[in-house]
């Protein structure tokens, strides 16, 4: 059953100094139940991050952590900014980014859920965001990992890309990408005309790499903070 389109989706990214990495690891365990109990939250995932160049453990970045959440209403999302969870991460972090997003397209599932619903098509202008997420079949993982580097190399040099971060609930097997683009056209050009990406899409159908996969696109409602010292919408 397809779930309702959330009123708002938020993504927090926190970068912590080396001295705070153990505390960040602890927060990843402690905060899961706290986030799920937050008023208005429909779906939430605490995430590790990486550079997404191979989707193996060597990509992992212990200095950056994330939280993706969907909300029944925008007021609940705003109230969460004053929660004990956000305050604790803000004390640890030396850089923060909080994006508020509105789903404009979504297909597939995440942990058996359809967290972004089935948004009605809308005309999009200006910067957009995309999330891809997949759960690999263990028997197909090795061939998938060999296919990733050409796609990642092309992504990180593709015209119109503003930022890309690998995201995942676990170091192996559960992974995805969050990316920001100048425009919907820039994202579509990569998705449909990048030769390495088109080849991986074709091979996905042939080889059955994924036990579960999701792609979603978003309009950007608000952005607060920086990513690697840069305001992503500046």
pLDDT of residue 173: 43
Q: Is the pLDDT of residue 144 over 60?
A: yes
Distance CA 8, CA 77 (A): 7
CATH number at residue 120: 3.30.70.100
pLDDT of residue 87: 97
Q: What total of structural domains would you count in the chain? A: 1
Q: pLDDT grade, residue 191 (50/70/90)?
A: confident
CB atoms within 10 A of CB 62: 15
Catalogue the E-assigned strands of the chain. 8-15, 41-50, 60-71, 95-108, 128-136, 161-168, 174-181, 210-225
- 129 - beta bridge partners? 180, 218
Question: Does the residue 232 lie in any domain?
Answer: no
Q: Compute the Cα dihedral for 142, 167, 71, 215 and give only its sign.
A: negative
Question: Mean of the per-residue pLDDT values for the chain?
Answer: 87
Q: pLDDT grade, residue 196 (50/70/90)?
A: low
Phi, psi for residue 180 in degrees, rounded to 5? -120, 135
Using a 10 angstrom Cβ sphere, with 0-12 exposed, 13-18 middle and 19 or more buried, the burial of residue 95 is middle
Task: Work out the average pLDDT over 140-166.
Answer: 75
Question: Does the residue 99 lie in any domain?
Answer: yes
Per-residue pLDDT tens for 88-122?
A: 999 999 999 999 999 999 999 999 999 999 998 88
More confidently predicted of 134 and 95: 95
Question: Does the residue 88 lie in any domain?
Answer: yes
pLDDT of residue 204: 66
Radius of gyration of the chain from its Cα atoms, rounded to whole angstroms: 17
State which residues form the domain around 51.
Answer: 8-224
Question: Does the residue 108 lie in any domain?
Answer: yes
Question: Does the residue 229 lie in any domain?
Answer: no
Question: Does the residue 112 lie in any domain?
Answer: yes
Q: Is the pLDDT of residue 65 over 80?
A: yes
């Amino acid at each position: 059953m397809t779930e309702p389109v959330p009123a708002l989706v938020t993504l927090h990214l926190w970068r912590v100094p080396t001295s705070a990495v153990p505390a960040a690891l602890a927060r990843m365990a402690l905060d899961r139940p706290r986030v799920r109990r937050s008023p208005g939250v429909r779906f939430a995932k605490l995430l590790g991050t990486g550079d997404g160049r191979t989707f193996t453990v060597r990509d992992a970045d212990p200095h950056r952590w994330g939280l993706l959440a969907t909300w029944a209403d925008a007021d609940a999302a705003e109230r969460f900014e004053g929660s004990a969870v956000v305050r604790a991460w803000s004390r640890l972090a030396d850089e923060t980014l909080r994006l508020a997003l509105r789903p404009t397209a979504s297909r597939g599932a995440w942990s058996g859920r359809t967290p972004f619903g089935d948004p009605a098509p809308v005309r999009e202008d200006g910067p957009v965001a995309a999330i891809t997420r997949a759960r690999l079949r263990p028997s197909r993982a090795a061939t998938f990992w060999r296919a990733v580097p050409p796609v990642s190399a092309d992504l990180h040099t593709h015209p119109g890309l503003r930022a890309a971060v690998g995201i995942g609930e676990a170091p192996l097997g559960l992974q995805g990408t969050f990316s920001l683009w100048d425009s919907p056209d820039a994202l579509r050009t990569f998705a449909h005309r990048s030769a390495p990406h088109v080849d991986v899409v074709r091979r996905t159908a042939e080889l059955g790499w994924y036990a579960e996969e999701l792609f979603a696109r978003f309009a950007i409602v608000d952005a607060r903070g920086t990513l690697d010292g840069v305001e992503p919408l500046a």
